[in-house]
Structure 1
């Protein structure tokens, strides 16, 4: 064999060895990839399926005053509860929790329990007393209150433009409206004029003494159930001709002013009905309280008061005096009937009223719509 043949044969052998080395390397890599793929498939097959991530459903608690539904039979009440629950489910909420008020617990304890249980919103279903009690339990918690009006006056609902005669429309606000931060009022009641520990109450709309409280105290529940708001008119007519009271009024702890009056009403907001606005400047979120001192004498005097309120005219009014401040104190020479948010609470010689700005969230339409 020639040298050329040997060289050619050696070169060929080297080439074959290199080819074999490359082929074996590629084959080994492929086998490793296959083993890795099979291992991954086995792990995937043996691993538990991925858990679906679910967002917890929001949940409401509804504090109900059952006495407001005495006119409904048991089946009607259940149908109404089923309807409300269905509305919540249709908006992606869990079924609401129902909490009933009792003669000893008017809604404040129920509201606090709802907050402790994690409710996203607490709904007050009842009259002004129920709404006020629920608000007392929610003040300062950051949990909003919604309102399903079921009373006669429904003063807060009227002032916040919450439908008070349409359950479906009021219920829609729970899901469609925003949370508005509002003020609450505090009322201290000194029964004797020298009580060491005056009684303390929260109010949302108005509190006062004199004629308005006597009118509220004179409303008969039987008549209110029969003719609704007209019962207040009947009671007001009975209390119209009482005597003026001697009182001293102090605003923001300044010097007391002696006045003769039939009524001193202090308001966190000022609307009695859609058309009847007692305090036109009162806003529920301005950090102030507004007041009116009514001093009519006889039929002509009441006519002047009615005209001033109906027309919202303050010019030269002797019988209607408007005041504004953060603190009011009224001291009476004789005990006078006291009311808050339309509920009479008995007679007292002295009351003190203060405002707590922005401590309550209420789910309602915007307080100041564009253009107002």
Structure 2
């Protein structure tokens, strides 16, 4: 070993999501003898970003994020551009990034992958969010963000219920979100060129395509293609919703039977449209609840989102 700092591995874990004893046992079984492993728990005040940034500054070669989507997003945000590898030990309800990268979700397999997997570079999205109170935040995400039904569903999902019954807890939020009409007013442009001004039900911007396992909401999205993908959902009545459902269901079936290269993105009138580019700017008619990687972050009146191509190193299978 040439130096302790070269082999520093930091485990950033959410104690509310993971079984610390099982995690420590798995890490102990897989960590090379040359590794010096340090453990840092997240807190309500520091949910992963500060811990991962400190690890990178200290010379870590690997940071393992053990927790839900929020922990993974914040650790990934801190490591973007650093060259430090991210190991993912998914322990949440959605596990969006792990699922989109087709990673094994099991504890032992995830820890083994973190130490012995291959490195893969993926893109990171960076959003400048203009809030309702006129303040501005810069926030990164790795899977998808949006407004409308997606954000409303998350906003109205009971966290305690989610802990107890898992994804089924989203059902009441989904029902409530789908009751609304095309109430979001948005103007958006890609790469400096205006694309549309319209009323819509839901708008999603993504680096990855699957909203859940094998359910591609953004069929053309790839985590390493250097592009942002966007979908607007604006159905009119039952027929419009039927078109949306048929498109998503059809692509889901193609994905499940192993024909992912045949996914399609037709444009049913007034129901679902797709765009892609390297930078998207969105202005809302009134402040809207915004979500990033499964967490709502309050209301925003505008957003500018850029793609940071190949900014994050992830340990993959």
TM-score (norm 1): 0.77
**Residues 1-372 of structure 1 correspond to what in structure 2 (within 5 A)?**
58-69=7-18, 77-88=20-31, 91-94=32-35, 96-164=37-105, 166-192=106-132, 195=134, 198-244=136-182, 245-255=184-194, 257-312=196-251, 313-318=264-269, 319-365=271-317
The alpha-carbon distance between structure 1 residues 364 and 79, as it changes in their structure 2 partners (threshold 3 A), is closer
CA contact (8 A) 1:158 1:272 kept: no
Give a deviation string over 1:279-314, Cα, whole Å, max 9, x none: 111111111100100001333322221111121343
CA contact (8 A) 1:127 1:149 kept: yes
Select between 280-289 and 246-255 the one with higher mean Cα deviation: 246-255
Select between 315-324 and 121-130 the one with higher mean Cα deviation: 315-324
Alpha-carbon distance in 2 for matches of 1:151, 1:85: 22
Alpha-carbon distance in 1 for matches of 2:194, 2:177: 31
Structure with larger RCO (C-alpha < 8 A, sep 6+) = 2
What is the Cα deviation at residue 256 of structure 1?
5.0
TM-score (norm 2): 0.89
What is the Cα deviation at residue 234 of structure 1?
2.7
The alpha-carbon distance between structure 1 residues 300 and 137, as it changes in their structure 2 partners (threshold 3 A), is same
CA contact (8 A) 1:287 1:356 kept: yes
Alpha-carbon distance in 2 for matches of 1:348, 1:127: 24
What is the Cα deviation at residue 105 of structure 1?
1.0
CA contact (8 A) 1:128 1:155 kept: yes
What is the Cα deviation at residue 251 of structure 1?
1.3
Select between 294-303 and 107-116 the one with higher mean Cα deviation: 294-303
Q: What SS does the corresponding residue of 2:43 show, helix, strand or coil?
A: coil
Q: What SS does the corresponding residue of 1:333 show, helix, strand or coil?
A: strand
Where does residue 33 of structure 1 map in the other structure? none
The alpha-carbon distance between structure 1 residues 316 and 131, as it changes in their structure 2 partners (threshold 3 A), is closer
What is the Cα deviation at residue 185 of structure 1?
0.2
How much is the aligned-residue C-alpha RMSD, in angstroms? 1.8
Give a deviation string over 1:92-135, Cα, whole Å, max 9, x none: 34352111111111111111221233222000001111111111
Select between 349-358 and 311-320 the one with higher mean Cα deviation: 311-320
Alpha-carbon distance in 2 for matches of 1:298, 1:250: 27
Select between 173-182 and 199-208 the one with higher mean Cα deviation: 173-182
CA contact (8 A) 2:287 2:300 kept: yes
Where does residue 20 of structure 1 map in the other structure? none
Q: What SS does the corresponding residue of 1:228 show, helix, strand or coil?
A: helix
The alpha-carbon distance between structure 1 residues 314 and 139, as it changes in their structure 2 partners (threshold 3 A), is closer
Alpha-carbon distance in 2 for matches of 1:181, 1:266: 20
Q: What SS does the corresponding residue of 2:153 show, helix, strand or coil?
A: helix
Alpha-carbon distance in 2 for matches of 1:79, 1:134: 21
- Which protein has the bigger strand share? 2
Select between 329-338 and 150-159 the one with higher mean Cα deviation: 329-338
